[in-house]
C-alpha cells in the first residue's frame, strides 16, 4: 500500500536517507510516522519544474511531498520525492 505526505519540511539530508521534521498529518492513514525515509537508486526526485534532481540538491528547510511504501522490515521507502520549489534558484 502506498502513502503520500504533503508539504513537509526537510530536517536532514544524507546519502541514502531523507529526514523530515514532525508535522501533524491530517490524513488518518499516517498516524505514527517515522521521520527517516530510505532513498534508493529507483527513487524519482523532481523539483517544481519537473526537472530530475539528486537527493543532495534538496536543501535543509525546503518543503517536499513524499510518496512512500512501508517495507516488510517496517522501514519507510521513498518512491518519489517532489521539491515544492525549484532547487536551481
Cell of 77: 521507502
Question: Which pLDDT value is given to residue 69?
Answer: 96
* Structural Rg of the chain based on CA atoms: 12
Averaged pLDDT for residues 52-59:
91
Judged against a pLDDT cut of 90, whether residue 77 lies above it is answered with yes
Averaged pLDDT for residues 28-47:
80
Give the pTM.
0.81
Determine the distance from the C-alpha atom of residue 32 to the mean position of all C-alpha atoms in its chain, rounded to a whole number: 16
Amino acid at each position: 500500500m502506498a502513502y503520500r505526505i504533503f508539504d513537509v519540511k526537510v530536517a536532514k539530508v544524507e546519502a541514502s536517507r531523507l529526514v523530515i521534521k514532525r508535522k501533524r498529518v491530517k490524513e488518518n492513514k499516517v498516524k505514527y510516522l517515522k521521520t527517516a525515509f530510505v532513498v534508493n537508486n529507483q527513487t524519482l526526485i523532481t523539483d517544481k519544474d519537473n526537472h530530475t534532481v539528486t537527493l543532495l540538491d534538496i536543501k535543509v528547510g525546503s518543503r517536499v511531498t513524499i510518496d512512500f511504501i512501508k517495507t516488510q522490515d517496517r522501514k519507510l521507502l521513498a518512491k518519489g520525492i517532489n521539491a515544492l520549489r525549484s532547487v536551481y534558484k
